[in-house]
Amino acid sequence: MKILRLPTIKRLPTYLHILKRLEDEGHEFVSTTSLINELDFKPILVRKDLVLMGIPGKPRMGYCLKDLIEAIENFLGWNKTDEAFLVGAGALGSALLGHKPFEENGLKIIAGFDIDPSRVGTTIHGKKIFHLSKLKELVKRMGVKVAIVTVPWQAAQEVADILVEAGIWGIWNFSMIKLKVPPEVVCHNENLSSGLAVFSVKLQKSREHLS
């Protein structure tokens, strides 16, 4: 597998969304110029990103949409499906349980876990919520290797330890703290506040410009 820089990886889903839309509209090819016109990316970045996908373009026609979509999905691993458990069925966890694009992009949440009696035993967006004490048993029985953590930060490390002990080797962490896991465990720490911070600064600058 090619090793791509993180900014490039973050741009790939944006390309994929546009490419699939064009395919749905009946197009078979896409030019670099048309992609540049649709995106807020520098032209040189778009050209470099497309070259890295290893799909040759055709003169005067551009790139074959089907081949380019397949190349991006293969790189991202979205051409196959990983089943996942979600721990923390509160407001954020409940929203993620119902987020259909995850499954479309290769991540299928099949159950949730919590310790709140008002949530345990319920069904949220078609997913059964189990007590956290059942996690190890279900990981072993169902062979799940991926988990999403949406618990309060105070409980996140304890939950991570439970997940690792149960055999989980991929953790997507939304708890706002950096989790400590063994080097062989893949852990991505998601910080929604970072996006909010960028948005807030842009909003503030816009207000200053308008005032």
| Strand (E) or helix (H) holding 133 | none
Pair 175, 156: CB distance under 8 Å: yes
Condensed to tens digits (0 to 9), the pLDDT of residues 159-195 reads 999 999 999 999 999 998 999 999 999 999 998 888 8
Exposure string for 10-46, b = 16+ CB within 10 A, e = fewer = ebbeebbebbeebeeeeeebbebeebbebeebeeeeb
State which CATH number among 1.20.1630.10, 1.10.240.10, 1.10.10.10, 1.10.1740.10 fits the domain covering 6-75. Answer: 1.10.10.10
Interior CA angle at 199 toward 202 and 69, to 5°? Answer: 115
Every domain of the chain and the residues it spans: 6-75, 82-194
pLDDT band at 3; cut points 50, 70, 90: low
Q: What is the pLDDT of residues 107-166, one digit of tens each?
A: 999 999 999 999 999 999 999 999 999 999 999 999 999 999 999 999 999 999 999 999
pLDDT tens sequence across 56-75: 888 888 999 999 999 999 98
Q: Encoding tokens for residue 27? A: 């197009």
* Sequence-ordered list of residues with C-beta below 8 angstroms from that of 1, at least 6 positions apart, any chain: 75
114 C-beta neighbours (distance < 10 Å), count: 24
pTM of the model: 0.79
CATH tag for 82-194 (out of 3.40.50.300, 3.40.50.720, 3.10.420.10, 3.90.1200.10): 3.40.50.720
